[in-house]
């Protein structure tokens, strides 16, 4: 019989890997958009809208992961008792904190990017879409 704890750790690692991939995608997008802004090849509004969409997807994944971890904690408490509950609670809190920290980092990058966008529009009003 498979060890449920081992399966949980494997799934948690896969979830964190997926979130990391999304964060890297957001970082790549930030870098590409900055270059596009400097060359004025892509509309700033489109870049901001796409980045907001990506950040919203990341935030939703984090919310789902947080709910999943809480649900698993409750299920383990019911099935296995106090010893396993404490072990999983500690692991779950750590995983949620790591994922939330990744989102906060991306959100900070977005805010920086958005400030650059506003500054660019002030100096290049021709980039504003009518």
Mean pLDDT over residues 38-45, rounded? 54
Question: Into how many domains does the chain fold?
Answer: 1
Q: Which residue has the higher pLDDT, 40 or 93?
A: 93
Q: Is the per-residue pLDDT at 38 higher than 60?
A: no
Tens of pLDDT, residues 75-121: 445 555 554 444 445 555 666 676 667 667 767 766 777 777 667 66
Burial of residue 65 (CB within 10 Å: 0-12, 13-18, 19+) is buried
CATH code of the domain containing 14:
1.20.58
Mean pLDDT over residues 54-80, rounded? 59
| Residue-range definition of the domain harbouring residue 49 | 4-117
Diameter over CA atoms, the chain: 66
Q: Which residue has the higher pLDDT, 40 or 109?
A: 109
Give domain status of residue 96, yes or no. yes
Give domain status of residue 18, yes or no. yes
3-class SS of residue 42: coil
């Amino acid at each position: 019989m498979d060890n449920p704890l081992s399966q949980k750790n494997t799934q948690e690692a896969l979830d964190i890997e997926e979130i990391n991939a999304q964060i890297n995608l957001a970082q790549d997008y930030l870098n590409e958009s900055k270059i596009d802004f400097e060359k004025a090849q892509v509309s700033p509004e489109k870049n901001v809208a796409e980045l907001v969409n990506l950040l919203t997807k990341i935030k939703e994944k984090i919310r789902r992961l947080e709910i999943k971890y809480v649900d698993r904690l409750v299920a383990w408490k019911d099935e296995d008792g106090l010893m396993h509950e404490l072990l999983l609670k500690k692991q779950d809190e750590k995983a949620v904190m790591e994922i939330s920290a990744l989102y906060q980092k991306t959100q900070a990058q977005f805010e920086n990017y958005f400030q650059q966008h506003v500054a660019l529009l002030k100096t290049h009003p021709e980039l504003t879409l009518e």
